[in-house]
Amino acid sequence: MKKLAQDIIKQSSSSPEIYQHHQKLCQKIDRYNYYYYTLDNPLVSDAQYDALYQQLVELEKTHHDLDTSNSPTTRVGGDVLSKFNVINHKVPMLSLSNGFTEEEVKAFYKRLYELTGQENLLFECEPKLDGLAISIHYERGKLSYAVTRGDGAQGEEVTANVRTIRNVPLVLQGDYPEYIEIRGEVIINKQDFLMLNKRAEKRQEKVFANPRNAAAGSIRQLDSRIAAKRPLRMYGYGIGANQGFILPRTQFELMQQIKAWGFQIADEIETVKGVDGLLGYYQKMAHLRADLSYDIDGLVYKLNEIALQDEVGFIARAPRWALAHKFPAEEVESEIVNVDFQIGRTGAITPVARLKPVAVGGVMVSNATLHNMDEIKRKDIYIHDRVIVRRAGDVIPEVVRPLVQYRTVAQKIEMPKHCPVCHSVIEVLKDQAVARCTGDWFCKGQTKERIKHFASRKAMDIDGLGDKIVEQLVERDIVKLPHDLYHLSLPVLMQLERMGRKSSINLLQAIEQSKNVSLARFIFAIGIRDIGEVSAKSLAENFGSLSAIQKADYNALIDIHDIGEVMAYNIIHFWQNHENRQMIDKLLASGVNIINPEKPKVHEINVDNPFYQKTVVITGSFVDYTRDELKEKLSSLGAKCVNSVSKKTDMVIAGEKAGSKLQKAQALGVFIIDESNLLTMLKEFDL
C-alpha cells in the first residue's frame, strides 16, 4: 500500500506550494463530493462548494503543468469518441445463477451444504440493482480505466463517462493496494429518473422507458459531456483483478472495505444464517422494495466466508456460491384490441396481439407475440379479451392468460386464408404448427425479412443496412431481390428517410465490401430453409464450392454429419426452384465473388487429442470463448460440431444457461463437460 503524493510531485514542475495548494483543493472538493453524493450529508452550502470549485478551475487554467488527470474538474466530461475500445477483462465478469422460487433457494442452500459439509451457513445478502454492470480499475489508488461488462469476457471502455459519475472516487480513500478492480452497478435513482424524463419532455427530447435503459444509454454515450449531465450513480459489490490486496475473511468485510475506499454500497446489506435467514431477508426486502430509492429486480445471496467461496468455485459462467433470487416478473392487465399476422423470411405467419398500451416493468408495451395458432388454442385467447401481460425473461412481451371472467364479446382469432401483405394463399402443412405465405419473393413481407437476413452480420455483413432502410427499399420497389442491393446509387439512397449523404456513401461502401464473401456466409445468406450458420459452414467445408453443393444429391448431402433428412430435402428443393437459381446467377453477375474455403488440413491436426473425430454439441454461453470461436477451435482439432444431441453425439459442452440440449444429453447419458472442464482438457493436451 502506497501513498499518492510522491507520485504527483515527480510529475509536476509547479512550485511545491502551488502543487500542495492544488492537491489540497482537489482533496477538499473530493471530500465535499463524497459527503454530498455518497453519504447524502452535505458539509457545505452549494455556494461555498461552487466558489471552491471555481478556485480549482482557475488554478488549473493558469498552471498547465499540474496533474489534473484525477482532478474533480474532469467530472464534467470532455472526451468525445467515435467509437469505444473493446477491452478484455483481466478476470471474467461472471453472471449470477437465477432462482425464482423458494424451492430454488432451498436447492441452492442444499447444494452448498453438500459441497461444504457445513450446517448453518452464513450468507451476505444484497439487493440486486437493476442497472449496468461496470468494472473500474485503480492503479496505485488512481482511477485508471473503466469497462462495461459486455459479454463477460470483454466489454467497452467507458472511462470518460465513468469519471463523470459523482459517487465514483477518482482517487481511493485511505490505504489502497497496488492495483484493484472494483465491480458494481451503474444505476439512476427512481427520483432522478423522473426528473431526467421531465426535463427531456420539456425540451421535447426522447424520454427513457425506465431507469435501467437511461443508465445504460448514458454510459454508452460517445460524448462524455452528455454522460456528465445524467444523474448516474454507482454501487460497488465486488472486486476483480488485484495486486497487493489481502482479501478479508468474509464478503461482508469486503463490502466494508469497498465502502472505506469511498464507494457507495447498498444500505440494505445484511448477513443471515441458513435457508430461513435467506427467505426472511426476501420477505423483508419484498416489502421494502417500493420504498427503495432505486429499482431492484431481486436479491443476491453470497456465501459469506471467502475461503468457502473458493472451495465451491464456479459452474460454467456463474459462481456456485451466489444466487440471484429474482422477484417474479411484473404482470399487468391489458386488452387485446386486435390480432395481426406478421410474415417471416420463410413465409411463416406469426399472430401478434395488439394491446391497449400498458406499462410493464417500466416499459410501454403495445404488441405481444402469440407464437402460433396452437398456442392461442392452448391459452384460450380471443380478440377483445382482457389479458395478463408480462415480459418473458424480463424482455419479450407475452400474453400469459385471458381473464375469462370479464369476457363479453369473444371474437375468434382465425388464421387468414390469404397473406395480409401479398394476398397469396396461406398453406398450413399437416403436423406443422406454422402456417406459411406462398408468395415467396412476390410477397413484400417475406422480401423485407429475406433482405434483412441476407445483409445481416453473420451473412453478407452489410454494415449500415438497418431494418428501416430495408423496409423503405422494398416498399418503394427499389429492391425486389438481393442483387438489387448491388445496383443502388447515391441519389437513390439519399432520397430515403433518415439517409443523408454521409450515411449513404458509407452504406454504398459497405455494400461494395460485402461482395467478397466466403462460401459459408453466402450459403447462409441465401436463406435455404433450416440451413443455419453451422450447416452452411459444413456444406462449404465438405463440398468446397457452390457448384459442388448444387450438384450434390440426397445421399451425398446426408452423408455430412450436420445435414439431416429434412435439410437435405430443403437444399435439393431450393436448387430445383428456377427463381432461386436465377437469384444466385444475378448475384454473381452483380459482382459477388465467392471465396471457396480451403479444405481443412487434416494432416496438421494432432490426432492425439480428445476431440479428434468426436461429434460434439456446444450449448449455452461461455466466458472465455464465443460459441462460434469454440466451434472453430474444436473443428480445427478435428471435432465435428453439430447442432442437435443424439445417440451419435460423443460429447456435449454445456455453458451457462444450457437448456434442452443439456437435458437431452443427460437423458441419453452423453458425456457432458462444462467450461472449466473444457479449459482443463485444452490445457492438459496443450491445445
Residues 6+ apart with CB under 8 A from 58: none
Angle at 306 between CA 303 and CA 308, to 5 degrees: 70
543 neighbors 549 (Cβ within 8 angstroms): yes
- CA–CA dist 171, 163 (Å, integer): 11
Q: Whats the size of the chain, residue-wise? A: 687
Q: Tell me whether residue 170 or residue 318 sits nearer to ligand 9MJ (CB atom).
A: 318
Instruction: Mark 620-642 as b/e (b = at least 16 C-beta within 10 Å).
Output: bbbbbbebeebbebbbebbbbbb
What's the start-to-end Cα distance of the chain, in Å? 39
- Write down the least CB distance from residue 351 to ligand 9MJ, Å: 36
Q: Which residues contact ligand 9MJ by CB under 6 A?
A: 94, 96, 126, 128-129, 185, 237-238, 300, 322
Q: Tell me whether residue 292 or residue 400 sits nearer to ligand 9MJ (CB atom).
A: 292
365 neighbors 387 (Cβ within 8 angstroms): no
Position 327: which residue type?
F
Residue 128 is a catalytic residue = yes
Q: Tell me whether residue 292 or residue 388 sits nearer to ligand 9MJ (CB atom).
A: 292
- Write down the least CB distance from residue 649 to ligand 9MJ, Å: 32
- Write down the least CB distance from residue 308 to ligand 9MJ, Å: 15
- Write down the least CB distance from residue 618 to ligand 9MJ, Å: 24
- Write down the least CB distance from residue 98 to ligand 9MJ, Å: 11
Q: Tell me whether residue 182 or residue 322 sits nearer to ligand 9MJ (CB atom).
A: 322
Q: Tell me whether residue 109 or residue 237 sits nearer to ligand 9MJ (CB atom).
A: 237
Residues 6+ apart with CB under 8 A from 453: 345, 459, 525, 527
Position 225: which residue type?
R
Q: Tell me whether residue 71 or residue 135 sits nearer to ligand 9MJ (CB atom).
A: 135
Q: DSSP string covering 353-382, please?
A: EEEEEEEETTEEEEEEE---HHHHHHHT--
Q: DSSP string covering 479-531, please?
A: -SSGGGGGG--HHHHHTSTT--HHHHHHHHHHHHHTTEEEHHHHHHHTT-TT-
- Write down the least CB distance from residue 628 to ligand 9MJ, Å: 25
- CA–CA dist 580, 550 (Å, integer): 11
- Write down the least CB distance from residue 296 to ligand 9MJ, Å: 7
Residue with the three cell numbers 480499475: 137
Question: How many other C-beta atoms are found inside a 10 Å radius of the C-beta of residue 29?
Answer: 19
Q: Tell me whether residue 248 or residue 357 sits nearer to ligand 9MJ (CB atom).
A: 248
Chain residue at closest Cβ approach to ligand 9MJ: 129
- CA–CA dist 337, 384 (Å, integer): 5
Q: Which residues share a beta bridge with 187?
A: 233
Residues 6+ apart with CB under 8 A from 574: 526, 528, 529, 580
Catalytic choice (28, 128, 302, 661): 128
- Write down the least CB distance from residue 196 to ligand 9MJ, Å: 21
Active site amino acids: 128
